[in-house]
Amino acid sequence: MKVRSHRAGKLLKGLWLALVLAFLYIPIIVMIALSFNASVSRAAWTGFTLDWYVKLFKSKQIMAALNVTITVAVIATVVSTVLGTLGAIGMHAMSTGMANLLINVSYLPMTTPDIVTGVSLMLMFIFVKVPLGKWTMIMAHIAFDTPYVLFSVMPKLRQMNPNLYEAALDLGCHPAKALYKVIIPEIMPGIVTGALLAFTMSLDDFVISYFTSNTDQNLAMIVYSAARRGVEPTMYALSTLMFIVVLGLLLIVNRRNGLEDIA
Amino acid sequence: MIDETRLIEIKGVSKSFGDTQVLHDIDLYIRKREFVTLLGPSGCGKTTLLRILGGFEMPSTGEVLFEGKDMTGIPPYKRRINTVFQKYALFNHLNVFDNIAFGLNLKTPEQLGCKSRAEMKQEVARRVNRMLKLVKMEGYEKRSTNALSGGQQQRIAIARALVNEPEVLLLDEPLGALDLKLRKEMQLELKAMQQQLGITFIYVTHDQEEALTMSDTIVVMNHGRIQQIGDPKGIYDEPRNAFVADFIGESNIIDGTMLQDDLVRFSDTEFQCVDEGFAKNEPVDVVIRPEDIMLVGEDVGMLRGVVESVIFKGVHYEMIIESNDCKWKVQSTTMQPVGTRVGMTIVPYNIHIMHKMPVLKEA
């Protein structure tokens, strides 16, 4: 009796998990499947094709958006990685009270709804009379990327042997030299993880980009505006590629974090 | 061996962190080629004093002279002093060779007596290899520091500091994380290195045995004050107060009264001793080492007592003997079973009389 109920419980658990995963992933699987469907129709499967992908890469509008997306993501990642890393090092050196205050202030943008961040950034740019475009989008991305770098680097600094910096000074380094010869290499895994996270966040951002840009559109904005006109299978293809790139990046980040936990 | 020139002089150094004063008016000099140990329990200020010498902390008041010149405001990277840190602090992104070469690579070719970068590279390799040999780690050049054991990491940390040929090497409890056997080996090796290289070592530890084994001079510290400065034998045989007596080796510390010169009363008995210059009937601390109490027949002892407990310690037995409401710790190679009535005798020069602690705190 007992054994059977145990088995039934196990089965039920497995079923529940399968249901949850299905709920989460079936829409994406359907979308990926439809991106290979020869027919424009969403109802019928008329054969496998890569036409939508070819069309995607031939579209000037989409290629321009890809260009915007990558430019914004690369610049925002580089700047926010430098800012976040230096910020983390500075906060690490502060008194506990001050550091805690700054940590909480930095958490806030991560928990604020994107729409609030987007609208407020847009208002600020209008208020200081900066025309909306690619550069305001880059500034907005820097703003929301930086905390991700900060919180990837902080734990590395906390784990670091506090004597490392002193050892570098002891052996003849000026403070600045100690920073780049010893501290930066020591926390490099955290910096790389932070940069990858920031890049991912930039790549797939829609809401904040939508509010802080004007004619310069990134890929997410293209998908959105296309969807309003009636979705074409090229958009499925584009979304599929974005999903795969972001998934790949997140897998790398998770793997890095996992490896460090073991080490 | 030791030069009489004073290499470092610490004059009236105090240090406070916020409201807590961790060092009180420290006066100390360190001679060339001397092996000095700062010894004391945790929180006694010994590490802070070492960090002031390294340049990682500034004294709140007082000054530190190096070869007669004030070095109080000089940053660590301009001092001819190197440090071996407690947790090694090796650079994990560099291999063993690059860790040791770190300090040398920051120098110019001229500073190493070389004409070109290429020549310097060879000179660095030569010096690093000499250090690897000194710390018995040849063949480990290409290893990652993560792949080394605690003892090996310690050796690399020592090599990394010594390769810079400092005037003074500071060591902050460098053997604390090693097992007992390895620690004893390293103590002897460190002492041998110090004598071979002729460098001044300033060593921080809370392990009194380590201090006794290696040092030319021991500085006993407690509550941010120096309790006693002396050579190992002097400190062990003639502790200046009950704290030192208790911290260095084991001791029985009993309340007593100095009746007159060379006569003390404790445990309801009068004893001959060799101490003079105390006030008449002055209350004192009487310090007697456990190995200085001889067990004799009950009828011939100066004190009588009953064996309360026995512990086997390897070389000797340690017994607690109760006598006149006093508990005595006695070490002897012959065991007396629990409950045995015994007599104890103490020869006059093994009875150490000390002023009571509060008097010393003002001093």
Domain around A258: 51-262
Nearest CB to B77; choose among A164, A169, A186: A169
Residues of A in Cβ contact (< 8 Å) with B86: 163
Nearest CB to B76; choose among A161, A169, A188: A169
Q: Does B91 touch chain A (CB under 8 A)?
A: yes
Q: With a cut of 60, say whether residue B358 has pLDDT above it.
A: no
Residue A32 lies in a domain: no
User: What region, left, alpha or beta, does residue B165 occupy, with left being phi > 0 and alpha being psi -120 to 50 degrees?
Assistant: left
Cα nearest neighbour of B54 on chain A = A170
Residue B1 lies in a domain: no
One-letter amino acid of A141: H
Our count of domains for chain A comes to 1
CA distances for B271 relative to A232, B263, B266, B280, angstroms: 108, 6, 8, 15
Q: Do A166 and B91 touch (CB under 8 A)?
A: no
Residue A81 lies in a domain: yes
Q: Does B99 touch chain A (CB under 8 A)?
A: no
Q: Are residues B275 and B157 in the same domain?
A: no
Nearest CB to A182; choose among B91, B107, B161: B91
Percent of all residues in chain A with a pLDDT value above 70, rounded to a whole number: 96
One-letter amino acid of A109: P
Distance CA(B64)–CA(B72), nearest Å, equals 5
DSSP secondary structure code for residue B33 in this structure: T
Q: Do A170 and B83 touch (CB under 8 A)?
A: yes
Q: Are residues B64 and B211 in the same domain?
A: yes
Segments in B108-251 forming alpha helices (H)? 117-134, 150-162, 180-197, 208-214, 232-237, 242-247
Nearest CB to A172; choose among B77, B85, B89: B77
The pLDDT of residue A1 is 52
Enter the pTM of the model: 0.79
Q: With a cut of 70, say whether residue B276 has pLDDT above it.
A: yes
Which structure tokens are listed for B283?
Answer: 């209350």
- Sheet containing B263-266: order of strands: B269-272, B263-266, B252-260, B282-288, B352-355
Nearest one of A45, A207, A163 to B153, comparing CA atoms: A163
Distance CA(B15)–CA(A14), nearest Å, equals 64
Q: Are residues B311 and B193 in the same domain?
A: no
Distance CA(B276)–CA(B274), nearest Å, equals 7
Q: Do B54 and A170 touch (CB under 8 A)?
A: yes
The pLDDT of residue A239 is 87
Nearest CB to A163; choose among B77, B82, B89: B89
Q: What is the CATH number of the domain that holds B94?
A: 3.40.50.300
Residue A146 lies in a domain: yes
Alpha carbon dihedral B72, B76, B80, B86, in 10-degree steps, equals 110
Q: What is the pLDDT of residues A212-232, one digit of tens each?
A: 998 888 988 988 888 887 777
pLDDT-based confidence at B142, cuts 50/70/90?
very high
CA distances for B171 relative to A90, B74, B204, angstroms: 29, 20, 6
Our count of domains for chain B comes to 2
CA distances for A88 relative to A94, A111, B93, B96, angstroms: 10, 19, 20, 29
Q: What is the CATH number of the domain that holds A107?
A: 1.10.3720.10
Which structure tokens are listed for B279?
Answer: 């006030």
Distance CA(B264)–CA(B348), nearest Å, equals 10
Mean pLDDT, residues B143-155 = 91
Q: With a cut of 90, say whether residue A199 has pLDDT above it.
A: yes
Q: Does B77 touch chain A (CB under 8 A)?
A: yes
Q: Do B91 and A164 touch (CB under 8 A)?
A: yes
Percent of all residues in chain A with a pLDDT value above 90, rounded to a whole number: 55
Nearest one of B286, B294, B289, B285 to B248, comparing CA atoms: B289
Q: Do B106 and A177 touch (CB under 8 A)?
A: yes
Residues of A in Cβ contact (< 8 Å) with B160: 171
Percent of all residues in chain B with a pLDDT value above 70, rounded to a whole number: 98
Nearest one of B221, B102, B304 to A185, comparing CA atoms: B102
The pLDDT of residue B361 is 42
Q: End-to-end alpha-carbon separation of chain B, Å? A: 33
Interface with chain A: mutation pick from B17, B85, B127, B128, highest number of A CBs within 10 Å: B85
The pLDDT of residue B308 is 92
Q: What is the CATH number of the domain that holds B326?
A: 2.40.50.140
Q: Are residues B34 and B66 in the same domain?
A: yes
Nearest one of B224, B210, B199 to B47, comparing CA atoms: B224
Mean pLDDT, residues B321-340 = 89
- Please say which residue of B242, B265, B284 terminates a domain: B242
User: How far off is chain B from A168, nearest CA to CA, in Å?
Assistant: 8
Q: Do B106 and A173 touch (CB under 8 A)?
A: yes
Q: Does B55 touch chain A (CB under 8 A)?
A: yes
Residues of B in Cβ contact (< 8 Å) with A168: 91, 102
Distance CA(B173)–CA(B170), nearest Å, equals 10
Q: Which residues pair with B95 in a beta bridge?
A: B144
Residue A17 lies in a domain: no
Residue with tokens 């505006």: A225
Asked if residues B128 and B110 have their Cβ atoms less than 8 Å apart, the reply is: no
Three-state DSSP class for residue B145: helix
Q: Are residues B74 and B157 in the same domain?
A: yes
Domain around B141: 6-242
Distance CA(A65)–CA(A60), nearest Å, equals 9
Cα nearest neighbour of B164 on chain A = A171
Three-state DSSP class for residue B250: coil
**Main-chain dihedrals φ then ψ at residue A199, nearest 5 degrees:** -60, -45
Q: Are residues B17 and B144 in the same domain?
A: yes
Q: Are residues B274 and B333 in the same domain?
A: yes
Q: Are residues B19 and B120 in the same domain?
A: yes
Q: Does B89 touch chain A (CB under 8 A)?
A: yes
Q: Does B102 touch chain A (CB under 8 A)?
A: yes
Mean pLDDT of chain A: 89
Residues of B in Cβ contact (< 8 Å) with A96: none
Mean pLDDT, residues B231-250 = 89
**Main-chain dihedrals φ then ψ at residue A82, nearest 5 degrees:** -65, -50
User: How far off is chain A from B79, nearest CA to CA, in Å?
Assistant: 8
Q: With a cut of 50, say whether residue B316 has pLDDT above it.
A: yes
User: How far off is chain B from A218, nearest CA to CA, in Å?
Assistant: 39
Q: Are residues B213 and B188 in the same domain?
A: yes
Q: Do A185 and B83 touch (CB under 8 A)?
A: no
Q: Are residues B215 and B324 in the same domain?
A: no
Alpha carbon dihedral A97, A100, A102, A105, in 10-degree steps, equals -130
Residue A3 lies in a domain: no
Nearest CB to A171; choose among B86, B87, B164: B164
Q: Are residues B104 and B232 in the same domain?
A: yes
Question: Which B positions 132-191 lie with beta carbon below 8 A of chain A?
Answer: 160-161, 164
- Please say which residue of B208, B242, B276 terminates a domain: B242
Q: Are residues B92 and B235 in the same domain?
A: yes
Interface with chain B: mutation pick from A170, A187, A260, highest number of B CBs within 10 Å: A170
